[in-house]
Structure 1
């Protein structure tokens, strides 16, 4: 029995139907919910009306998707359980980071199984990735390529450099897989063709992992900055009714004001004050969108999240999301 037959025989829950999602979004919270099988929390950083898109194809537990967004976003995300994520930032700039590391041109982005993803996107971003069941990739690496995948991944950072040719090969494999699965949905499925495609994708992903280069100092420095940002987020959400001052944050985190500002400039490109305000604005927006019938006053919701000056709150909300709070509420009630 082959590694694939052995895997599928022991995994009766593997989806035997092709699952396809093609969706355009006009809201950052809608975008966070649009990707099938993932758990995600998005905070929009760039001001203005949001626009995004998801193209996702899934079959037998494997998923390939492309995500685009026109605003900088800070993401906390979890992939499907026991899966590896391997892919490319097909549109990115120097302001974006994945898994605590800055993303550059010709980068390979990866996420270990059952690890939380921290992704700060660029003002215009697009990623194309494969989500592969860990057991399947590990079995392929061991039985076909004679590679201990776990040992290999211990030497690889979440963002690594690839040559242009290796980047092009991986991108061709990913986009080819999306086209193939879309065709399968409308034609008679050929299992033999699927096996050839799967072999090609697994092989290409493993070769990309083998071709990476390391830079451990860069990983360490950025990880410290990201930790500071994450702690500020936690403190913001736990003190939402009475937002902490910068001085209080510095005392709580035991860092200087300069260190705090530098961490946010490096990781997100905005100030701590702006980030904390944006996090709270997203919580207000979520209540307006998802519990519209329970809201009797927008001012009460705003005050709950630490906004007591309604004209300032409305201005901040409109600048970030491109619409007034009452427009969000009315649209949600119509839905």
Structure 2
């Protein structure tokens, strides 16, 4: 049986909740109202989804457990770099069974993801006779330059599954589509034109990771850039260069976005608390400045966020 649905997303917090299997912790890093698109199709052993964002998003999370997840970029707005490797519409991403991802996507981002049950992929490999080491593939994240023709077929088939409904009255047709999708995914890995790029961690990545741990541990208090520099043992110039490289933002801007996002999450999750009470919990002592910054980032007032919840 195949179930396809378009899911309405009210904001980044709603997305994090809707995709619980992905353990998401997405953060908006752009000003204005975020528009998010999410369409999913569930098949036995395979989950397909198309997701898009109108704003820059810091994406963190992990694919569903015991799956091998494939990703294809479907937007051309900007090149995305993850672990110092370029992700483009001509590359195929692979996420291992225990993998985590950490990526900053630009405004206009759009992508397809395919999460295939590990046992399903092993069975398909045996049926089709592909000489692939699934266990090796499932170990860690990789970016592969795949056959453009295969990628285009995957995109077209995904569009048919996601948007050309219904399948309830044609179960055999749905099963054929699932088989075709599985075959294309595994054949993309078996292509002789595949080029594998190793993931590279730089000292910059470790510095950013340390800074983020400190920010998250102290998210409820105002954090000065100088304070952050002393905690990670680096200069303001070096920290700024690292943050600009990853986020396209200064450390101060990233701290502001993260603190406002945490405030917004608390605002949504704790309707029994007054806005000024939540503000004090996060060290926002000037409500007028908080309201101004909040509207600048999210395109609405805290009171409007609350009204949307009722």
1:77-130 C-alpha deviation (Å, 9 max, x unpaired):
222210111121101443634566442242212211132222321111111121
Q: 1:244 aligns with which of 223, 240, 246?
A: 223
Could you tell me how far apart the structure 2 residues matched to 1:123 and 1:148 are? 36
Q: 1:54 aligns with which of 38, 44, 53?
A: 38
Moved more, 61-70 or 238-247: 238-247
Could you tell me how far apart the structure 1 residues matched to 2:20 and 2:40 are? 8
Q: State the match for 1:8 in structure 2.
A: none
Gaps of 5+ in 1: 1-16
> Is the counterpart of residue 183 in structure 1 residue 137 in structure 2?
no
Q: State the match for 1:127 in structure 2.
A: 111
Gaps of 5+ in 2: none
Could you tell me how far apart the structure 1 residues matched to 2:67 and 2:259 are? 32
Q: State the match for 2:56 in structure 1.
A: 72
> Is the counterpart of residue 146 in structure 1 residue 146 in structure 2?
no
> Is the counterpart of residue 34 in structure 1 residue 18 in structure 2?
yes
Moved more, 224-233 or 199-208: 224-233
Could you tell me how far apart the structure 2 residues matched to 1:93 and 1:49 are? 19
Q: Decide whether aligned partners of structure 1 residues 18 and 167 sit closer, same or farther in structure 2, where only a CA change above 3 A counts.
A: closer
CA contact (8 A) 1:99 1:158 kept: no
1:1-335 to 2 correspondence within 5 Å?
17-35=1-19, 37-94=21-78, 96-98=80-82, 101-144=85-128, 145-152=130-137, 158-179=142-163, 182-185=165-168, 187-190=169-172, 193-210=173-190, 211-216=193-198, 219-221=199-201, 224-292=203-271, 294-296=272-274, 298-332=275-309, 335=310
Normalised by the length of structure 2, the TM-score is 0.88
Which SS does the other structure have where 1:40 is aligned? coil
The structural deviation recorded for 1:189 is 1.7
The structural deviation recorded for 1:42 is 1.3
The structural deviation recorded for 1:174 is 2.7
Which SS does the other structure have where 1:91 is aligned? coil
Query: How many residue pairs were aligned?
Result: 307
Moved more, 133-142 or 60-69: 133-142
Which SS does the other structure have where 2:25 is aligned? strand
Q: Please report the RMSD computed on the Cα atoms of aligned residues, expressed in angstroms.
A: 2.5
The structural deviation recorded for 1:62 is 1.2
Q: Decide whether aligned partners of structure 1 residues 132 and 238 sit closer, same or farther in structure 2, where only a CA change above 3 A counts.
A: same
CA contact (8 A) 1:100 1:118 kept: no
Which SS does the other structure have where 1:68 is aligned? strand
